[in-house]
Amino acid sequence: MCLFSLCKKFFGHKLQELGFSCKTAQLDCDIIALNCQKKIIFLFTALGQILKERCDVNVSNPFSQITPEIARLAELCEANGAIDPTLYKKYDVKRGLRDLDGQGVLTGLTKISDIVAFKIVDGKRVPCEGKLYYRGIDIEEIVAGFIKENRFGYEEVAYLLMFGELPNAQELENFCRIIANYRSLPTNFVRDIILKAPSQDMMNTLARSVLTMYAYDDYADDISLPNVLRQLLQLLALFPLLCVYGYQAYCHYHDKKSLYIHVPKPELSTAENFLHILRPDSQYTELEAKILDLALVLHAEHGGGNNSTFTTHVVTSSGTDTYSTIAAAIGSLKGPRHGGANIKVVQMVEDLKQNVSDWTNEAQVADYLIRILEKKAFDRTGLIYGMGHAVYSLSDPRAKILKSFVEKLSKEKNRMEEYQLYTLVERLAPQIISERRSIYKGVSANVDFYSGFVYNMLDLPLQLYTPIFAIARIAGWAAHRLEELANPSKIIRPAYKAVSDVRPYIPLDQR
């Protein structure tokens, strides 16, 4: 394939996506008479001008440019990186570390949490209502406990996950005091690290900040249990500050908004402090704080096999430091297949509202959902976001718990019509999916289905949806890092079978 064809292959589809069909047609006419080198120069010049005019993309930044040489090398990557899909079955490869039925391959043992989605009946696995246990205690009981006592629950859950026991009143008070004392960044950290190079992605900001904290720690590489515990508690305390301050910096320098850097209050819970430092006036209602706290509790842990927690185990097993380990977990959670699904739910429902005239009309809503599955609506992936889960089948207990509080917030925010739309989609989608799937294991709403709506009602920016997930999940990551260190073993190293042909080395002048 010639270099010019490569350019058209790699960039032509992007022009089509952006609606440049007429311009690309004219482009073809204009460049027919040019030689190959001039064609390439002409194509890239025109492409750059079009993107600059229509997409506000700074194509003059050499750091971000895809040159013709890179395009050619990418073609080699694609050509020589593809593996025959039939070989995975031939060699019984557990792709994604899952069996053919979707069950995860057993790679470790944990006492931290348990996910139940099936029960054994007459020797067969039968789907059941989903259950989630933190240290052996049903999450529904945990939530009911602190709600009944009118308390915030995240700090209690963090203690339970990390130390394996429910704290008594004095232990919980001491733990909250430790967290409050650690909720202060090193001197000039905000000025020197967060404000000087604000990123458009808050997960990148969070990972960078965590890695930079290594330089402020005199015992950064000490992986003794007491030192690692100290580091993890500090990170748990600081995650809300790192996320919110990073967001404030971005809004100030990129969107020209006023800069607000509020100092956390030691008497406030994690959820309260998050709202306090995020909002310009630091004001929030009790219901807002309680529901955000509930969301943190429900996202705090979900087994050792989820991508970011397994990453924590893998990286910890290498013997590296806490900051590198947690930064790796953040990188995993940033991925849209893991931590960004609730954003997609909100965007999908917004698109539905734009394309369905009557939100209460079941037929219209069902037709929209069918068009999504047929890749004719929304992002055309064929996915109804917020529906289904890798493990759960009949129900996700986290979604059930969260939904019971969403209605209260919807009433307070005067958004009951939208809440009813969400419940309608939740009711219709499983049936529509079951009618159109060749293999159907049962689908229900997962926790992402309602969490995005909750954050939207709390007026939280989209950029902070996944960081809030990280603020919650640091408790689970911490527990699993401590568990991995408490049970030292070999470095985690699964096998990959080579399927390339053996061939001789060819001297440079003969290639």
Token code pair at residue 447: 């926790």
Helix (H) or strand (E) holding 80: helix 68-81
Nearest 5 degrees, angle CA 170-CA 176-CA 177?
Answer: 90
Give the C-alpha separation, 175 to 396, whole Å.
30
Among 113, 224, 106, smallest CA distance to 482 is for 224
Q: Angle 440-441-447 (CA atoms, 0-180°, nearest 5)?
A: 115
Spatial distance between the Cα atoms of 400 and 390, rounded to a whole number of angstroms: 17
Q: In sequence order, what DSSP letters do the residues of 468-502 get, joined into one string?
A: HHHHHHHHHHHHHHHHHHHS--PPP-------PPP
CA distance 302 to 115: 7
Q: What angle do CA 76, 82, 85 make, to 5 degrees?
A: 170
Phi-psi region of 135 (alpha: psi -120 to 50; beta: other; left: phi over 0): left
Which CA distances in Å does 324 have to 120, 187, 255? 40, 22, 31
CB 448 within 8 A of CB 283: no
First-to-last alpha carbon distance for the chain, in angstroms, is: 18
497 Cβ neighbours under 8 A, 6+ residues apart: 91, 93
Q: Can you read off the two tokens belonging to residue 362? A: 């079941």
Shortest CA distance to 425 belongs to which of 508, 350, 335, 505?
A: 350
The backbone torsions φ and ψ at residue 107, rounded to the nearest 5 degrees and listed phi first, read -120, -5
Contact 481, 322 (CB under 8 A): yes
- Please give the backbone phi and psi of residue 157, each rounded to the nearest 5 degrees, phi first: -65, -40
**Identified catalytic residue from 276, 313, 389, 480:** 389
Q: Taking a C-beta distance cutoff of 8 angstroms, is the pair 243, 463 a contact?
A: no
CA 44 to chain centre: 34
229 CB-near residues (< 8 Å, 6+ apart):
162, 482
DSSP states of 135-188 as a string? TTEEHHHHHHHHHHTT---HHHHHHHHHHSS---HHHHHHHHHHHHHH--PPTT
Helix-, strand-, coil-residue percentages of the chain, each rounded to 5 = 60, 5, 35
Q: Which of 293, 396, 448, 480 is catalytic?
A: 448
DSSP state of 219: T
Is 448 marked active-site?
A: yes
**Is 389 annotated in the active site?**
yes
Structure token digits, residue 29: 């006419």
Residues across the chain: 511
Residues annotated as part of the active site: 389, 448
